[in-house]
Amino acid sequence: MLKIFGAVGSGSVPIEATLTLLGIPYEVIEAVTWEDEAARKRIETVNPLGQVPALVLPSGEIMTESAAILIYLADLYPQARLAPGLNDPARAQYLRWMTYVSAAIYAFAWIKDDAMRIAASKDDAPRVIDRVHDRIADCWRKMDEQITPSHYILGDELSVLNLYVTVISRFGPWRTRFYKSAPKMAEIVRQIDADPRLKEFWAKRFPFYEGWEQ
Ligand SMILES: N[C@@H](CCC(=O)N[C@@H](CS)C(=O)NCC(=O)O)C(=O)O
């Protein structure tokens, strides 16, 4: 069985959502890396960066990096149509935006998880977080301006890009700001939040608690 090092409300959630839609059983090894030093140390045995998600394939091989894992799983099960195929005209933009969400947006989690990694002092930390949030909001805005969505971000199929954006847009600077920065994608993520196939999944792995949009 596939094993995934992950945590509620973390970057493992789009991968877990993908496995849920695929109907593939998996086991989650819970590791709240950003709050728990012991969990970070534990995960370093599989991911030297000390981050979730990390996927353990049935062969024992380890795969890290959320975008790579999502692309890999979607390609492994093409019949589920969770990604544009190699010859699909949407493939180039799909790869572009998968990488963009990972590199331009999600990568900032390293700073947000502990601003003292780069802040000059404790007093400087809130300013660092604010600047990071501004940059993320700007990246969402620029992505939104460049896409022409249909039912979903790149057409009428629910690709893993949509699951990725739905989850990562819940991280700081959170959804209310995302809705303002990215009005086209706002419609889409709301739709995915309400997708009946994922209702139980969201409730377990990224619940919509009171005030969650912030
Ligand atoms: N580039 C990585 C980023 C993963 C990441 O930032 N994970 C966060 C949790 S959502 C984490 O484990 N943070 C702990 C830390 O960086 O110390 C990916 O896309 O998988």
SS3 of residue 29 by DSSP: strand
- The mean per-residue pLDDT over the stretch 64-76 comes to 98
- Is the minimum distance from the CB of 166 to ligand 1 under 6 angstroms? no
- Is the minimum distance from the CB of 113 to ligand 1 under 6 angstroms? yes
- Is the minimum distance from the CB of 212 to ligand 1 under 6 angstroms? no
pLDDT score recorded for residue 36: 87
Mean pLDDT of the residues in the chain: 97
- Select 91-196's CATH number: 3.40.50.1700, 3.90.1150.10, 1.20.1050.10, 1.10.260.40: 1.20.1050.10
- Is the minimum distance from the CB of 205 to ligand 1 under 6 angstroms? no
- The amino acid occupying position 26 is Y
Q: By the 8 A CB rule, do 50 and 41 touch?
A: yes
102 Cα nearest atom in ligand 1: 19
The alpha carbons of the chain give a radius of gyration, in whole angstroms, of 17
Placement of tokens 């993908």 in the chain: 18
Residue 61 has pLDDT above 90, yes or no: yes
Domain ranges of the chain: 2-80, 91-196
- Is the minimum distance from the CB of 6 to ligand 1 under 6 angstroms? no
Q: Could you tell me what percent of the chain has a pLDDT over 70?
A: 100
Q: Are strands 54-56 and 26-30 parallel, antiparallel or unpaired?
A: unpaired
- The mean per-residue pLDDT over the stretch 47-67 comes to 96
Assigned CATH topology for domain 2-80: Glutaredoxin (3.40.30)
What are the start-end ranges of the E strands in 60-202?
A: 62-64
Indicate which residue's Cα is closest to atom 3 of ligand 1. 107
How many A from CA of 50 to the centre of ligand 1?
Answer: 8
Q: What is the pLDDT of residues 109-150, one digit of tens each?
A: 999 999 999 999 999 999 999 999 999 999 999 999 999 999
Contact partners, residue 76, CB within 8 Å, separation at least 6: none
- Is the minimum distance from the CB of 10 to ligand 1 under 6 angstroms? yes
How many A from CA of 119 to the centre of ligand 1?
Answer: 18
How many A from CA of 89 to the centre of ligand 1?
Answer: 31
Asked if omega into 183 is within 30° of 0 (cis), the reply is no
Task: Output 131 or 41, whichever has higher pLDDT.
Answer: 131
Ranges of H-type helices in the chain: 13-22, 37-43, 66-76, 91-100, 109-112, 125-146, 160-168, 174-181, 183-193, 199-205
- The amino acid occupying position 161 is L
- Model's pTM, two decimal places? 0.98
